[in-house]
Amino acid sequence: MADIVNFELVSPERLLMSAEAEMVVVPGVEGDIGVLPGHAPLVTTIRPGIVEVHNDGADLVKLFVRGGFAEITGTTLTVLAEEAMALSEIDRAAIEQELQNCNEDIQDAKDAATRAKAEDARDRAQEVLQALDDAAA
């Protein structure tokens, strides 16, 4: 059994992270999953939340993910996320402004399609803000 997990986080835009880790915590739809070396094989969907990459003696790396899948083998973890970004790259003020704009767009929507698009954007902004709050706790 290896003493590390080979971790990759991939979004549609890019490979966000490829690293060796002692443990990675993934936000599964049924709860957080702590992936250690030798973890049983598993494929699961992920919910919006924070992936934590743990390495002894190194800074904890936190990344926001929104939707997707995680595939776990004994030595590897691959997360294919619909959207992913490092928490350090998120501008809270910009997301709060985006949320306000979305709420205004919902109020001003003239048809169901426009309203649905604005509601999806609002939901995304709320998920990012929730992840920031969770990371600060």
Instruction: State pLDDT tens for residues 39-72.
Output: 999 999 999 999 999 987 777 889 999 989 999 9
Residue with the two structure tokens 């890019």: 14
115, amino acid identity: R
Cα distance from N-terminal residue to C-terminal residue, the chain: 34
**Cα 1 from chain centroid?**
28
pTM as predicted:
0.85
36 shares a domain with 24: yes
59 shares a domain with 9: yes
Residue 136: predicted pLDDT: 78
73 shares a domain with 34: yes
Please say which residue of 88, 107, 127 terminates a domain: 88
63 shares a domain with 9: yes
Cα-based angle 125, 15, 120 (whole degrees, multiple of 5): 20
Q: Are 50 and 75 spatial neighbours (Cβ–Cβ below 8 Å)?
A: no
| Overall number of domains in the chain | 2
70 shares a domain with 53: yes
Domain of 72, in residue numbers: 5-88
Residue 1 has pLDDT above 50, yes or no: no
